[in-house]
Amino acid sequence: MEELSTSDWFSKPGDSIRAVMQRRGIDPHNLAGLFEGGMARVRALLDGSAAILEDDAVKLSSALGANPKFWLARQRNFDAAVSRAVERIRESEEDDLVLSIPAPGVKPKGKMTDDRKEEEIRRRLVYFNVPTVSTWESRYGRVVRDTDFRKSATYSSDDEDTLLWLRRGELESDMINTRSFNPGNLQDRLEAIRKLSRVRHPQSFLPKLRALCAEAGVALVIVRPPGGCKASGAARMVDPDKAMILLSFRYRSDDQFWFTVFHEIGHILLHEANTFLDGDETPFDEKEEEANEFAEGCIIPELRASEFERLPADKDSVLRFSVSIGVAPGLTVGQMQHREMIPRNKLNYLKRRWAWDEIDPALP
């Protein structure tokens, strides 16, 4: 990887906005009330897709401090830094490589003018918050390897959907205030997290789950997956003192949802949350096996494992055992199926399933 000087990097004005909000304990939804466009405008200012205009600068000044000139200067310095990054990429002839990185919105068609090329390169650098191709590769390393980035000029639509889902999750994690990441605090909250599996409705358990994770320095984010995204969850450190667990609710059943929650917690606690992207097509390796074993242990406590292995495959036995270990019966059924104690089609009526119109109201 090439060495980058300080001038090569850029920092979005949204980084300063977020830092002040976190320091002062200001919730993004409170800030949204000041802006026309509400949360959509706050999101755009934080992720850099919208520039700070004079009216924005006045509102930021009143809410966060510093005078409007500071916020406008912050935007000008950012724009200049991104322009330098785009120029370096054009000079190094890495245009096509950067343009192969997916970006949200309408894809350009046909031959692009130089101005449009620069606009599209800038859009990708800002969206992923990276100044160079190698920085992008290092930050999204595992995803890059799985999609064979260096050997292919383009991604499949499924790969693009997965990358955009992951990045959307990171941007949403910026909106969540957390304490500094502490693995011990996360471990201490596992039992409280387990108990939430017994709560029926997402509107009741998701806010509590987010709060427990935030107390341990983990931003829990749920992003509805685009059509081609096959991921169930992801985990990574988004800042040195902040982890992210990203969930897709892909299967919308309680056994799959909670297993994914514990699997991603396992990655964070066991593997320092280097980027882990988990789904049906995830390459199975030692770390994936460890995260699976961790999740299984969260659902079926080790001290009850031998009793579980002898559990009769009938409704009353499953209900009694689930109550005794403190989890929803759907999770017990999921583990019985996973360990091939019963067929995949047996006892599924004990699982809870949710529609998106039940999930969406629980999302911030």
**Beta-strand relationship, 231-239 and 218-222:** unpaired
Query: Parallel, antiparallel, or unpaired: how do β-strands 231-239 and 276-279 relate?
Result: antiparallel
What are the residues facing 243 on neighbouring strands?
A: 218, 237
Mean per-residue pLDDT pooled into runs of 10, the chain (364 residues): 58 93 88 92 94 96 94 96 94 88 81 90 93 87 55 60 90 92 96 97 97 97 88 90 94 96 95 73 78 96 96 97 97 97 96 96 88
Q: Considering the entire predicted model, what is its pTM?
A: 0.88
Tens digits of residue pLDDT in 119-166: 999 999 999 999 998 888 888 866 666 544 433 445 566 778 888 999
Spatial distance between the Cα atoms of 177 and 158, rounded to a whole number of angstroms: 31
Which residue ranges form the domains of the chain, and what is each CATH number? 6-139 (1.10.260.40), 178-362 (no CATH)
Q: What sign results for the dihedral spanned by CA atoms 193, 205, 273, 14?
A: negative
Give the integer Cα–Cα distance in Å for 194 and 52.
43
**126 and 83 Cβ atoms separated by less than 8 Å:** no
Nearest to 267 by CA among 277, 256, 257: 277
Give residue-wise pLDDT tens across range 182-219.
999 999 999 999 999 999 999 999 999 999 999 999 99
Query: Helix, strand or coil for residue 362?
Result: helix
